[in-house]
Amino acid sequence: MDETADLGKAARDILEGATFDNNILCIAEKTIIAVESIAEELKRQFCSLPEVYWLSPSEASQVEKAIFPDGKLNSQLIGKDAAYILAQAGIKVDGKIRLAIMETGPSHQLVATEQLMPVLPFVRVRDFQAGLELSVTSEHGDKHTAVIHSKDMTRVDRFARALDVTILVVNSPSGAALVVDGEGKYAHTLAGPTGEGVCTPRTFTREIRVTIGGAFGY
């Protein structure tokens, strides 16, 4: 998210995208990267959503231990409800909680891991350029999926070219690229270093899909 984004919509979009099927889909949002100038307001927008639980530093530490016991991802928590995951960390919340967010640094283990659960790291960056660089680093060159919230189409273009992913979503939840309240093809094929991506039986070739919400979109 940059300083031009509609922060209220971005927060709601991330909630919907990251919690669809409890984040089990590989296209789902895995990390929230926000420029410093709007990070506090974005946090406020998230906290205003009754389905979101913002973890305190001490709670975040507890959840980290539950997700990464002995430093390795706890596969027993993959695809579980956020409330269930928090309960395993000793944190009791209302069952309506669908997404947990913790503030972390850019090198945190959650930023580097495809956790496949509705617990997201929130990282503040200096500016758009720093956010772009972290996005490239955390995507690991898999050329899979990236999501950006910005009204600056020049920045969207820079983001698209730098990430070079098969699925690019702009100002929408990630699922919009797979016809979940959006457009595209509901196809779950590989989109990584092999070059395979969203494909159909007609061509079986990689198609780079750009899904844009709002004024430019559906």
pLDDT at 28 over 50: yes
Mind listing the pLDDT tens digit for each residue in 131-172?
999 999 999 998 889 999 999 999 999 999 999 998 899 999
Residue holding tokens 């698209």?
A: 160
Give the residue among 114, 104, 135 at the shortest CA–CA distance from 39.
104
pLDDT recorded at residue 67: 98
Using the predicted structure, report yes or no on whether residue 218 has a pLDDT greater than 50.
no
**Residue 79: CB atoms within 10 Å:** 14
b/e per residue 142-170 (b: at least 16 CB within 10 A): bbbbbbbbbbeeebbebbbeebebbbbbb
Supply the pTM of this predicted model: 0.87
* Stronger pLDDT, 52 or 210, i.e. the higher one: 52
